[in-house]
A = this chain, B = another copy of it.
Amino acid sequence: MAIEVDDILRRNSLSVTDSRKKILSLFLSIHGALAHGDIERKAGEKFDRVTVYRTLQTFVEKGIIHTIPTTDNSVRYALCKDNCTEGHHHDNHIHFICMQCGSTLCLEEVLVPEVRLPKGFTSSEIEVVIKGICKECNNKKNSPIVETAGLRLRL
């Protein structure tokens, strides 16, 4: 993993530093999106806030990660799947926010639908964010309820 991280950084002509390695590997290890706060927390209090901000900014510029808009007005970041190897691409997938576990996911397999705009309008970018319950949370909900000695547990 460490090698992979170094590689990605170098491919994007970025100096290989501790903070960049740490933050990038966080993204690689986590399935989903991260907010600035998450990163600060999970990075283990080791880096300055400013460093995290600047690192994220750099990654966005290089097309390593992309931002996801949310209704509650907080920015989250996620890895650009094909981008780590290539240059910029315009995202054409949708984003999903689970209202139960709070995680934000890129649904890479769901393409942004066609939208027919009124006459005169031209579009260059479409953002689709869906809120709901994710697969895992739905699974939990549907799992059988076990009753033991008065306790009701969900598996």
A15 at the binding interface (Cβ < 8 Å)? no
Check A115–B94 contact: CB distance below 8 A. yes
Q: Which of A19-27, A81-89, A116-124, A145-153 contacts B (4 or more CB under 8 A)?
A: A116-124
Cα–Cα distance between A118 and B69 once the two chains are bound (Å): 21
Cα–Cα distance between A138 and B130 once the two chains are bound (Å): 30
Residues on B with C-beta less than 8 A from A122 are 132-133, 138
Interface residues of A, count at CB 8 A: 39
CB distance from A94 to the nearest CB of B (A): 7
Residues on B with C-beta less than 8 A from A125 are 71, 130-132
Residues on B with C-beta less than 8 A from A28 are none
Cα–Cα distance between A71 and B120 once the two chains are bound (Å): 23
CB distance from A18 to the nearest CB of B (A): 28
Within 8 A of B (CB), among A100-131: 107, 109-110, 113-131
Among B69, B124, B130, contact of A123 (Cβ-Cβ < 8 Å): B130
Q: Which residue of B lies closest to A136 (CB)?
A: B120
Check A99–B124 contact: CB distance below 8 A. yes
Cα–Cα distance between A110 and B118 once the two chains are bound (Å): 8
* Interfacial residues, chain A to chain B (CB-CB below 8 A): 67, 69-71, 73-75, 94, 96, 99, 107, 109-110, 113-136, 138-139
12 interchain pairs, CB-CB under 8 A = A67-B71, A69-B71, A71-B125, A73-B73, A94-B115, A110-B118, A117-B132, A121-B134, A124-B131, A124-B133, A125-B132, A126-B130
